[in-house]
Structure 1
Amino acid sequence: MHFDLFTLGVIGAAIGIAISVSFTLLGLVLRGLPALRIWASAFWVLTVAALAQGLNENGSLLSTVAGGGLIALANALMLMGIAIHLRYPLRWRWPMAVVGLFVANQVHVYLLPPSQTASALMFGAYSVVWDVWMVWVLLWRSPRDMRNTCSFTALIFIIDAVFYLLRSVVVLFPHLLAHTRLDELLTTWNYLFGILSSFLLSTGFTLMLAERLTLDLRRLARTDGLTGLLNRSALIEAGARLVDACRTRGQACSVLMFDLDNFKTINDSWGHAAGDAVLSHFVDVIRSMGLTRDTLFARYGGEEFVLLLPAIEPTQAGILAERMRAAVAAEPAAFDGRTINITTSVGGAAATDANFEHLISAADVALYRAKHLGRNQVAWNQGA
């Protein structure tokens, strides 16, 4: 069955409209995903491009400049959507510069039409450039926990690049490949491949969005909303693994438990907004002490925090605890143009053969002793 370009353009536009409407409706529901709105715009632009090229197949201004320019713009939007989704800092000016270069080339093609071979090679080259750029961002700039869906989407762009490279080979060597099976397939499937690519890309982007939502929900379930630290349940899970690893290697593991002194008085005197500011300030002060990557810092509950220090001697942990206590006392929290003086009591415990629950209990006992002795000091449980 043979379809002319106009018929394929109508089919492509219909599929494009369906995909664009789907992404637009998703964007109305999932408003916290900016990449979704950008991809919806990209599919709308692709749909208009399909109409522009399908309505006229004679190399007119509409199909050559407008249609080709819109395809380039759609590629730029897809690339920026990928970068924003993966939180890769790509500036708009770079893909838009490539769009401008392509449009300028298409204007030149319209005014001074080159040979059909040169025109096909130029369009294929631009397509490969966009494909390679997007594959690079998807594979080399994606976080590890998003590699699966990014790899699937990258595979679609790789197939697209291979398709255009094969077309370029057919154009460059017409006598060798004319009337071959490859020549017939590339000619027949040229436009159908574009339609199929749009459908597969919409699937890839949808999978990426689903994976992002899943990961964000998992992080929310493990993260304290105010401070961004691990919450209590996440600390217990991760802390148990970390302490067991230290015990297996025969290394000491230390736990510091912090409690902000007189925090209820701060809430009663200044209000809960001030209390939240104090908690966030405390976290910033502790983080500024240069914690290592393997350290676990979590909000244990209310104004209590836990710092798990793996592979550190008790003496060093005690020195660090005193430095942190002094830093908190020396740096008042700012709220509503005023300062709030805060202090913290610290309980510490260390062991090489205890489990995480035992260390937490021992640090809690030491914390109680520090508060009983007058607050704003460090107490150490030597019997952990």
Structure 2
Amino acid sequence: MHLDIPTLTFVSLLMGIGASIGFTSLMTVLRNQTVLRIWVASLWIATLGVLLIGLRNRIPDLLSIVVGNGAIVFSNALMLKGIAKHLGQPMRWRWPGCFVLVYIGFSAWMTYVTPDLGMRLFIASLQAVIFDLAYAYLLLRYGEPAIRTSCRIAAAIMLINAVFFLMRAFMSVAYSAGQDIMLAGTPVAATYVVGILTGLASYFALLQLITERLMVDLSRAAHTDGLTGLLNRSAIVAEGRASLARCQQRGQPFTLLIFDLDHFKQINDRWGHDVGDAVLRHVTTILRSGIDWPHMLASRYGGEEFVLALPGATLEQGMEVAEKLRYTLAHSHARIDHQSIPVTASIGVAVARPGTRFEQLVRQADEAMYRTKFDGRNGVSLAMADSAHLAEAGDTRC
């Protein structure tokens, strides 16, 4: 079987164009996916590089060799940037940018100063190995548990690709090829076939990364409040039930706090709902930075009402957390558009007793919170024993 490098290059070009068009059409639907835009740019630039290389002997070597190879290595740097962003990792352009410039300079040197096709092929393969290993490292090192499956599959494909390019780096070039890659011989042509297959696998790996990320994001959106990012009402009930059940099975305490922002309607009426939303985000920041409890569940329960579930917390610990929260809120005014807005909260605390259901615990803490409001607000109240008894008798409000 005769393997023709120009034909294989043309096949690679068609595959690149198809993948670029496909991911571009996907981008028109997923417009908010910044990572996808980066990857689409990478695919189009790589396709341009393949086109320029395929036009060898029809266009100047500066375009075919230097610009073509430069486009491919720049597309690899963009792909690395996209993967880092996909994983939530910062990546500075310093070393990838320097790498791209050095590689372009080397290509120019090996084209015009000391022409050497074998060395160009070696360095081109080596840069691909370096980038593939970098891709795999990021995916395996920083892939969060929720998207670990797609990260591992993509990393495996990148590692296979790295092995392929490492083998190609030491592939002998036909003596009669001179400086023309299109005449490099059957062994090099065979690597083009493998490259087409691994390239196709890489496209599917990218698609799987995007798909699993979307599934995770949709799942999180269904369980979180859109304004604050905390659990929503249905999620806190579902997760609270499970957490309370675990604590009861292990004989551990479980304390629940409900708090409501004081005079929140006045904030909305005076400054507008945008400021009110900003105040809610301010309270969320306080919760996340000021309350440190293992496996704490935090929820925007509705409007300006919040729920905190503290698995393993005794009554004393729950009251301590509640007082710390009250004090922090009262002494950290929300500063919005040069406005300093005081924020206080009325807090109710309830501790689970044997057989208490989560919905009953919510009711107990809720009644304690309203007693705080009746007593003057900006305080903490504990659910009373008689209130707890009534709640456990059959109230399942949640």
Q: Under a length normalisation based on structure 2, what TM-score does the superposition of the two structures give?
A: 0.87
Q: CA deviation at 1:370?
A: 1.6
Deviations 1:68-94 (A, max 9, x none): 212211111111111112211111222
- Runs of 4+ with deviation above 6 angstroms: none
1:288 and 1:188 map into 2 onto residues whose CA distance is 58
Answer yes or no: is 1:374 the counterpart of 2:376. yes
2:193 and 2:57 map into 1 onto residues whose CA distance is 16
Give the equivalent residue in structure 1 for 2:108: 107
Answer yes or no: is 1:357 the counterpart of 2:359. yes
Deviations 1:282-325 (A, max 9, x none): 22233332323411111111111011111122112112212221
3-state SS of 2:69 partner = helix
Q: CA deviation at 1:41?
A: 1.4
Deviations 1:148-193 (A, max 9, x none): 1122222221111111222345549xxxxxxxxxxx9854422222
Structure 2: segments with no counterpart, 5+ residues: 174-184, 389-398
Give the equivalent residue in structure 2 for 1:200: 201
Q: CA deviation at 1:29?
A: 2.1
1:352 and 1:105 map into 2 onto residues whose CA distance is 73
Letter in 2 for 1:73: F
Deviations 1:261-285 (A, max 9, x none): 2222332333222322222222223
More moved, 194-203 vs 15-24? 194-203
1:9 and 1:365 map into 2 onto residues whose CA distance is 73
3-state SS of 1:346 partner = strand
Q: What RMSD, in angstroms, separates the aligned Cα atoms of the two structures?
A: 2.4
Q: CA deviation at 1:114?
A: 5.9
CA contact (8 A) 2:172 2:188 kept: no
CA contact (8 A) 1:121 1:171 kept: no
Letter in 1 for 2:191: N
Q: 1:103 to 1:250 in 2, by over 3 A?
A: same
Answer yes or no: is 1:160 the counterpart of 2:127. no
More moved, 247-256 vs 119-128? 119-128
Q: CA deviation at 1:382?
A: 4.3
Deviations 1:186-225 (A, max 9, x none): 5442222222233222211111111111111111111111
More moved, 83-92 vs 109-118? 109-118
Letter in 2 for 1:235: I
1:39 and 1:335 map into 2 onto residues whose CA distance is 37
Give the equivalent residue in structure 2 for 1:325: 326
3-state SS of 1:239 partner = helix
Deviations 1:127-159 (A, max 9, x none): 211111111111112211111112222222111
2:13 and 2:292 map into 1 onto residues whose CA distance is 55
1:51 and 1:333 map into 2 onto residues whose CA distance is 56
Give the equivalent residue in structure 2 for 1:228: 229
Give the equivalent residue in structure 2 for 1:213: 214
Answer yes or no: is 1:32 the counterpart of 2:32. yes
Give the equivalent residue in structure 2 for 1:315: 316
Give the equivalent residue in structure 1 for 2:273: 272
Give the equivalent residue in structure 2 for 1:175: none
Q: 1:288 to 1:49 in 2, by over 3 A?
A: closer
Q: CA deviation at 1:358?
A: 2.3
Q: 1:166 to 1:331 in 2, by over 3 A?
A: closer
Q: 1:287 to 1:147 in 2, by over 3 A?
A: closer
2:369 and 2:22 map into 1 onto residues whose CA distance is 56
2:97 and 2:235 map into 1 onto residues whose CA distance is 43
1:286 and 1:19 map into 2 onto residues whose CA distance is 45
3-state SS of 1:258 partner = strand
Give the equivalent residue in structure 1 for 2:51: 51
Structure 1: segments with no counterpart, 5+ residues: 173-183
Letter in 2 for 1:92: W
More moved, 291-300 vs 327-336? 327-336
CA contact (8 A) 2:3 2:190 kept: no
Letter in 2 for 1:342: V
1:367 and 1:116 map into 2 onto residues whose CA distance is 78
CA contact (8 A) 2:291 2:321 kept: no
1:34 and 1:344 map into 2 onto residues whose CA distance is 38
Letter in 2 for 1:128: V
Deviations 1:39-92 (A, max 9, x none): 111111221221222222799444432222122111111111111122111112
Give the equivalent residue in structure 2 for 1:15: 15
CA contact (8 A) 2:326 2:347 kept: yes
Q: 1:186 to 1:138 in 2, by over 3 A?
A: farther
Note the 1:61-76 alignment, pairs <5 A: 61-76=62-77
Q: 1:186 to 1:239 in 2, by over 3 A?
A: farther
Q: 1:218 to 1:117 in 2, by over 3 A?
A: same
Give the equivalent residue in structure 2 for 1:287: 288
Q: Under a length normalisation based on structure 1, what TM-score does the superposition of the two structures give?
A: 0.90
Q: 1:38 to 1:338 in 2, by over 3 A?
A: closer
3-state SS of 1:32 partner = coil
